[in-house]
Amino acid sequence: MIPAIDTALVGMRASLDQLERTSQSIANLVSSSSVSSGNLIEDVVQLSLAQHAFEANAAVVRTANEIIGTTIDLLI
């Protein structure tokens, strides 16, 4: 496959893993009797970072796809 797409897919997987871990952390905080606002804020920030990382990697995949399509169009 194309290295840029491979790298972006690895990044997307890492972002999804981070989302899963952080979601579990938030669920654990909510289910416990003592919710620390500091931990919750940190987890929400981590969710946002993971979301943006996923979106950035998805943009790389879209751009690589467009470049491949343009290259094919030029060759035909």
Model pLDDT for residues 19-61, shown as the tens digit of each residue: 999 999 999 888 876 667 778 899 999 999 999 999 999 999 9
Q: Which of 55, 51, 52, 4 is nearest to 23 (CA)?
A: 51
Task: Give the residue-averaged pLDDT of 59-69.
Answer: 96
CA–chain centroid gap for 26, Å, is 18
Q: Give me 55's structure tokens.
A: 């979106």
Q: Count up the domains in the chain and report the number.
A: 1
Structural domain that includes position 64: 3-75
pTM: 0.85
pLDDT at residue number 34: 66
What confidence score (pLDDT) does residue 46 get?
Answer: 96
One-letter amino acid at 6 equals D
The answer to whether the beta carbons of residues 24 and 46 sit under 8 Å apart is no
Per-residue pLDDT band for 18 (boundaries 50, 70, 90) equals very high
